[in-house]
Structure 1
């Protein structure tokens, strides 16, 4: 079974310095039909104006993933981590027992475009953690996060797996699946056929009750994120 969430159906927010589209309920956007999917709670598509950003604020007991599409994030947190995320890099911040951080666009001329993803953990009150990695541009499915860090992936505190999907036009990839698991695909660029339905940029797909997840680039290069969830 597959359910498509079109890009233009997402919630939105415009604060001037920040323009955001929300796949699931977040902030002032609330839709009881879209509160998350399995352990996946948030996918925010954020565009931050030059020399602007999120001031220091706190989180706890949430796995927070940032993926930079354009520009850079200047990151600081209460655990002493100070870092810059360039385009193509992933950051995983485990908020655990509590962490405060800021995210800022350090450029005075270029917009920052990134995805912020929240996944609910399966353990609570843990020591906060920080991971950051570039997984390259290899075609096919590349494992980005997993419970045990296999294949060099970042370690997430949930029985969840996140993949980066890159395909050239007309190429295909597949992921072994289980009918007891939940799958979500978020398309970043290109046109992607998922279980015989077409996605365009910003679209998402909830997928359940399958034995294998079939993914095919239509007639453009594709970049997407694929979630394997409990």
Structure 2
């Protein structure tokens, strides 16, 4: 399918979408990556067999991100080519925030498939898939909803082919990230959405453990530390800073 601005704007819902398209091989494995221009500042992209990697800056957090959309063929040789290509890109971009997502057409364990024949022939594929994620320090987001993302038309077989693999840097930016499997509708694949819910509960409370109060010398320790803190500012500012310092000393 040919893509152009008006078609992508219609898919997105407004004209603030940026996009890049990879046609794949002979119309197969095509990938379309889209982003909101006010949230993501595009800088470059790399097209490869079975993937499309887009680099840019997350404008709100001002961090450099690489988002890789994956749609690879079933053959192990094609997957091996993709894993090697992504590993090479990862090797020279280790500090960026990484997210690999899409249809990997592979599972990482026997628990991710049911009713699928020929598991013994997939042992090598599972091993290489896990080696790819381990070598590049990519972890799968916790899953919410359905356990499987692909279903055979008659329901006799199902697998977890679609997922989000992210770097530790991603988890530092969005520690509450999860992947949500949506109901299956037109496709034999379920849509999978990654979200990070952050609830602002206000200032964090200062906490203690009751058992500390019964420990010999605890109150003397607190009083001694508290009286030795040198802080500046008004009363509330001093109280806040002293609690902060005391928290660190209690942990120690």
Report if TM-score (shorter chain) is over 0.5. Answer: no
Higher relative contact order structure (alpha carbons within 8 Å, sequence separation ≥ 6): 1
- Of Structure 1 and Structure 2, which has the larger fraction of its residues in strand? 1
TM-score interval w.r.t. the shorter chain?
0.3 to 0.5
The TM-score with structure 2 as length reference comes to: 0.31
Richer in helix (by share): 2
Task: Answer with 1 or 2: which has the greater Rg.
Answer: 2
